[in-house]
Chain A
Amino acid sequence: MTAKPKFAMYWAASCGGCEIAVLNTHEKILDVDANFDVVFWPVAMDAKYKDVEAMEDGSILLTLFNGSIRNDENERLAKLLRQKSKLLVAFGSCACEGCIPGLANLSPVGDIVHTAFNTITTDNPHGIYPRTSFDVPEGELHIPTLAKVVRPLEQVVDVDYFMPGCPPESHQIAAVIDLVIKVVKGEAELPPKGATIGVGDSTVCDECPRARNVKLIKEFTRIQDIAPVDPTLCILEQGVPCNGPATRSGCNARCPQAGAQCIGCYGPAEGVMDYGARLITAFASVVDATTPEEIDRILDGIPDPTGQVYRFNLAGSLLKANREAWIKG
């Protein structure tokens, strides 16, 4: 019997939901164990960075990298795992496009540190801030230092595949694992490099069962402010900005099915360069007005347009960050 191919998974700047989603594949997780040799997965087993460093380049077949690049440790590991892996998958929204951690790009990193260590919610009477290096008798200690902006994996290293979702749906993860196992067995071929996997071809509306018509919106509002909500009619048509039309399908329209608007975690559709731009144009297209005043009145119904269109994508967008964060960092 030949040696099992090696598998790794790493958690950079993210919430950990992606790891849970992998475990949520239930018995599928046994297939991973059966088919792979898990060499590095800090959340599940003990391993040292130096063990990885010692591995031969390209010796890991598959690495699922979740989380975005927030600090130098994230970046170091990204580069290390790239070097050691044949297939590096940006796993989950954070790795693909920055996700919620990416919203930190709305503020300069100095402000973020300041908020964390010196506002009324923090008990820090002497105004003490952490240092990134500190001399102790044993030598110099380092803690990771923050980069000026959060970056998705692709902005740091070459990525083979992208698997969006916050987190990716377990059935999609299972499908991808199945596929890789088949490839290993020579029963299937890998998709072309750079592909987005574990997703549908279209956008969330494609999987959304709600009925839709030509849309003419005179008033944008929040879902809690409409009563009663029509459970069968497109949410956007009811005046609630739903990100479904611009968001990659694959989740089975979870949110709209559950009665809430899509907030966009699966990211842009194939070939789309900037997710926010697509939503701007989608929402603006259904605004039913021709005068600047009336247009403004209707748009006032979207109180935080930037957050609305970039909740999951800011770091991966064309502009990547707020100007202040970008220039000053």
Chain B
Amino acid sequence: MTDNNFEPTIIGFTCNWCSYRAADLAGTARMKYAPNVRLIRMMCSGRLDPTFVLRALSGGADGVMITGCHPGECHYIEQNYKALRRFHLLRRVLAGLGIEPERVKLVWASAAEGAKFAAETTAFVEEIRKLGPLGWGKGEEKDEGGRIKDEDSSFITHPSSFGEEVSA
């Protein structure tokens, strides 16, 4: 399924010291990249709680980009390694849930790597475009009580693939 008009929505988590600055640098240098990524600034990639990724994916994002300082260059010494470990386990869990692990990407970008940030962002948007929409946001629209609407809980009656009853 490739939808040519599909514009992915991507949430990017950036670290205050490196990748957020890399994004700033890409701006200062007027580099161009795809507008599909919306960034959140955290103090460190180590702040990345997997909940955030799950929230983004379940709330309508088609992909999540996590960025931090290169290994060995973390502003907080070694916290990006912790982000790396979580990222690895999270991807495994997502795969178990049938979600392409490629929808979550980890990029190391130093404050000087504006070009890398721009290039990785554009590349990621293209990767997600190829994967197609994730399709979670819609299902969670709530009615006034904060519950899933009736029409979403589409009941199964007769899936066409099911065999017909054969009279004896």
A/B contact in complex, CB under 8 angstroms: yes
Give Cα distance in the complex from A129 to B99, angstroms.
30
Give Cα distance in the complex from A310 to B96, angstroms.
10
B127 is an interface residue with CB less than 8 A from chain A: no
Chain B residues within an 8 Å CB radius of A321: 97
The answer, among A132, A319, A322, for a CB contact under 8 Å with B158, is A132
A-B contact pairs, 16 of them (CB 8 A): A146-B155, A146-B156, A147-B154, A149-B153, A157-B145, A273-B55, A274-B51, A280-B86, A280-B90, A285-B82, A295-B85, A299-B89, A304-B96, A305-B92, A318-B58, A326-B139
Is B145 in contact with A158, judged by CB distance below 8 angstroms? yes
A38 CB to closest chain B CB (Å) equals 28
Is B161 in contact with A128, judged by CB distance below 8 angstroms? no
B88 is an interface residue with CB less than 8 A from chain A: yes
The answer, among B71, B92, B156, for a CB contact under 8 Å with A329, is B156
Chain A residues within an 8 Å CB radius of B50: 274, 276-277, 280-281
Task: Given the known inter-chain contacts A128-B166, A146-B156, A290-B81, please indicate yes or no for A280 contacting B96, CB distance below 8 A.
Answer: no
Is A292 in contact with B54, judged by CB distance below 8 angstroms? no
Is A295 in contact with B165, judged by CB distance below 8 angstroms? no
Instruction: Tally chain B residues at the interface, Cβ within 8 Å.
Output: 44
Is A317 in contact with B54, judged by CB distance below 8 angstroms? yes
Select the residue from A75, A148, A305 with max chain B CB neighbours within 10 A: A305
Q: Chain A: residues with CB nearer than 8 A to chain B?
A: 71-72, 75, 106, 109-110, 113, 118, 126-129, 131-133, 145-149, 151, 154-158, 273-274, 276-278, 280-281, 283-285, 287, 289-290, 292, 295-296, 299, 302, 304-307, 309-310, 317-327, 329
A316 CB to closest chain B CB (Å) equals 12
Q: Chain B: residues with CB nearer than 8 A to chain A?
A: 49-51, 53-55, 57-58, 71, 78, 81-82, 84-86, 88-90, 92-93, 95-99, 134-136, 139, 145, 147-148, 153-159, 161-163, 165-166
B30 CB to closest chain A CB (Å) equals 34
Task: Given the known inter-chain contacts A284-B89, A289-B85, A299-B92, please indicate yes or no for A109 contacting B156, CB distance below 8 A.
Answer: yes
Chain A residues within an 8 Å CB radius of B92: 299, 302, 305-306
A291 CB to closest chain B CB (Å) equals 8
The answer, among B89, B98, B148, for a CB contact under 8 Å with A155, is B148
Chain A residues within an 8 Å CB radius of B157: 132-133, 145
The answer, among A75, A118, A319, for a CB contact under 8 Å with B153, is A75
Chain B residues within an 8 Å CB radius of A145: 155-157
Give Cα distance in the complex from A46 to B162, angstroms.
36
Q: Which residue of A lies closest to B146 (CB)?
A: A158
B136 CB to closest chain A CB (Å) equals 7
Is B153 in contact with A284, judged by CB distance below 8 angstroms? no
Give Cα distance in the complex from A306 to B134, angstroms.
19
Chain B residues within an 8 Å CB radius of A304: 96
Give Cα distance in the complex from A273 to B92, angstroms.
20
Is A319 in contact with B89, judged by CB distance below 8 angstroms? no
Give Cα distance in the complex from A149 to B140, angstroms.
13
The answer, among A71, A129, A148, for a CB contact under 8 Å with B163, is A129
